[in-house]
Structure 1
Amino acid sequence: MPDPYAPRLVSTGRTLTVRGLSLHVRCWGPPEAPPLVLLHGSRDASATFQFVVDALAGPWRVLAPDWRGHGLSDRAPGGYWWQDYLADLDALLDALVPDAPVRLVGHSLGGNMALLYAGLRPERVARLVSLDGFGLPERRAEEAPAHLARWLDAARRQAAPVVYPSLPALAARLAAANPRLGTPRALFLAGHLGRRMPEGGWTWAFDPAHRRPFATLYRFAEAAACWRRVRAPTLFLASGVPFPPALADEPGGVEARIALVPGAVCERLAGTGHNLHHDAPEAVARRLDGFLA
């Protein structure tokens, strides 16, 4: 078994109390450098950006929070609503970068939250990058009864953790889901995305409740109204395959969605999957350095 990936830049951590929860923030780079805020995706953690951070020309002061119920942050006893992420982000930015608009980069869920936030607080965002975050497929009102019934059923069940016998086994699960990752990087990520069980074995660090559906249906018209209010220069950096795939079937595809953000541009990285920051971190870092500087 190869050794885990060895980071070029070692992160430090700090903890902030935000809306009644203790949220962990991973930090890289000198405190005096320009701040860059990175937002991870669902069932992920801040350490997922290590490979990109190591490839950045910088210098940047990189700040990456673990969302509630992820990584080293507290879990929410009452469950999760996507609006909580927006309110947490608002509070985190006030604490981390209170005096200036921020450069904001998000992957997947993080990209979608960054886009919404940039429309709701346009004065707080200087530049914006969404990594494979284009919103979700539109949901119809007629789907609400079945969706809410599934949510009720899930809310009644205690979400059980998935347990792996060892850290290498958890890393193998990551590598199987993304063959481009490679074993050393998979081992590194497993050490941050997983946690050791007191009774033995390893499980994911995220709250198993994140496997439940959100209570509300996703209505893209509401997201679009926020996207139209974005004023920051915006880059959509897309993987080689549309994500989610169902967006390719919408009229105009993701291009129609990108056009909603004033002046936004899009670049697709061929040969990458949804986790393009793992598959091509050097290419992602080059584009971030160029766009955000």
Structure 2
Amino acid sequence: MYQAKNAARSEFVPIRQLDYHVWVWGEPAPDKVPLVMVHGWMDVAASWQFMVDAFAGDPHVIAPDWRGYGLTRSAPTDAYWFPDYLADLDLLLDHYAPDRPVNLVGHSMGGNVAMLYAGVRPQRVRRLVNLEGFGMPATTPSQAPRRLAKWIDELKAFHRGELDLKSYDSADGVAQRLMKTNARLGRDKAQWLTQHWARPDAGGRWRILGDPAHKVINPQLSRVDEVLEIYRAITAPVLAVETTEDSLAGWWRGKYSLDEYHQRLTVLSDVRVEVVSDAGHMVHHDQPQLLAGLVEAFLAA
């Protein structure tokens, strides 16, 4: 199994009537800008371990499990909303960095949250790294009736137990699933991730530490005009990292492309794009050493 080089502290912070679980690496210091790292959909904060181990320096890293993921137990709910992530992050920074801006890194869904947050609270973000957080395809008002109807149908399916996450008969079964999803992930890392990505239940079945309600579609349309206005409000320099694998082409099949994403980035006042080879969407697992070097150089510039 993978041996972590830098031990993390597990902390719980009261945020909006939840006990938010946070992993913390390193110690705070006056000369250290806090590095806040936020994970993606159906992931956990521990997922950053490989990248933290690859940092050449000794940053103070703060990584929360989003509500309904990992060890952050959400209040009973059947839906999740992006504004909640923004508010949760703001209160998290109130706790860990109330008087100074932070460096913010987000992957996938976390990258989307980080981009929006940096526009909503520009004074709180010193530098921003977006790892494959492409945003969503554009929508039109004509889609609203069907989308709301689909949301209601999926709520019903959730309450019938039809959206439950698959369970596994052993930790090895979870590791196999992780390696199937990401062919570049070695068994050592998969076995380590399994201990943080899933837990055995009372019957011995291994279950993913994620609320099935995350699978319910968001009823709100993705308004690109609103997103672009938020992007325009970002004052922090932005490093946008993508891989040569082009995740968007596989996900959206022509509904949304890298060209459209790059066009959105043009509204930012200070942005650079880096493309990482031999990596898929889980770039922080596939190329942690290379990625850590890119991020450290960007944050130190």
Pairwise CA distance, 1:160: 2.3
Partner Cα separation in structure 2 for residue 212 and residue 248 of structure 1: 20
User: What is aligned with 1:164?
Assistant: 168
Q: Name the stretch that deviates more: 194-203 or 246-255.
A: 246-255
> What residue in structure 2 maps to residue 95 of structure 1?
95
Q: State the alpha-carbon separation in 2 of the partners of residues 202 and 187 from structure 1.
A: 13
Unaligned runs of 5+ in 2: none
Deviation sequence 1:238-276 (CA, Å, 0-9, x none):
122233224785594322122121111100101211110
1:226 corresponds to 2:230 = yes
Q: Summarize the alignment of residues 279-290 of structure 1 with structure 2, pairs less than 5 Å apart.
A: 279-290=286-297
Secondary structure, counterpart of 2:247 in structure 1 = coil
Query: Superposition pairs for residues 118-129 of structure 1, below 5 Å?
Result: 118-129=118-129
Equivalent residue number for residue 66 of structure 1 = 65
The aligned amino acid for 1:272 is A
Shift of 1:197: 1.1
Alpha carbons 1:134, 1:243 under 8 Å: kept: no
CA contact (8 A) 1:135 1:220 kept: no
Alignment match, 1:26: 23
Report the RMSD for the aligned CA atoms in angstroms. 1.5
Q: Could you say which residue in structure 1 is the equivalent of 2:195?
A: 191
Pair 1:250–1:50, CA change in 2 (3 A): closer
Q: What amino acid does structure 2 have at the position aligned with 1:31?
A: P
Answer yes or no: is 1:263 the counterpart of 2:270.
yes
* 3-state secondary structure, aligned to 2:173: helix
Q: Indicate conservation of the 8 Å contact 1:51/1:277, yes or no.
A: yes
Cα distance in 1 for residues equivalent to 2:67 and 2:271: 29
Residue type matched to 1:225 in 2?
E
Using the alignment, how far apart are the partners of 2:141 and 2:209 within structure 1? Answer: 34
CA separation of 1:7 and 1:183: change in aligned 2, threshold 3 A: same
**CA separation of 1:255 and 1:208: change in aligned 2, threshold 3 A:** same
In structure 2, C-alpha distance between the alignment counterparts of 1:249 and 1:226, rounded to whole Å: 20
Aligned residue number for residue 132 of structure 2: 132
**CA distance in structure 2 between the partners assigned to 1:130 and 1:243 by the alignment:** 14
Alignment correspondent of 1:273: 280
Q: For the residues of structure 1 that align with 2:288 and 2:281, how far apart are their CA atoms? A: 12
Residue 223 (structure 1) shift: 1.1
Check if 1:144 corresponds to 2:148.
no
- What residue number does 1:174 align with? 178
How many pairs does the alignment contain?
290
User: Could you list the per-position Cα deviations for residues 148-200 of structure 1 after superposition, in whole angstroms to 9, with x for gaps in the alignment?
Assistant: 11110111232423110001101100000101011110111111111111111
CA distance 1:6–1:251, change in 2 (3 Å): closer
8 Å contact from structure 1 (residues 28, 62) kept in 2: yes
Cα contact 1:127–1:292 (8 A) shared by 2: yes
Question: Residues 68-87 of structure 1: matches in 2 within 5 Å?
Answer: 68-78=67-77, 79-87=79-87
| Alpha-carbon distance between aligned partners in 1 of 2:109 and 2:84, rounded to the nearest angstrom | 13
TM-score scaled by structure 1?
A: 0.95
Identity %: 41
CA contact (8 A) 1:23 1:68 kept: yes
Moved beyond 3 Å, runs of 4+? 246-252
**Equivalent residue number for residue 219 of structure 2:** 215
Query: For residues 64 and 70 of structure 1, what CA distance do their matches in structure 2 show?
Result: 12
Structure 1 runs not aligned, ≥5 long: none
TM-superposed deviation, 1:34: 3.3
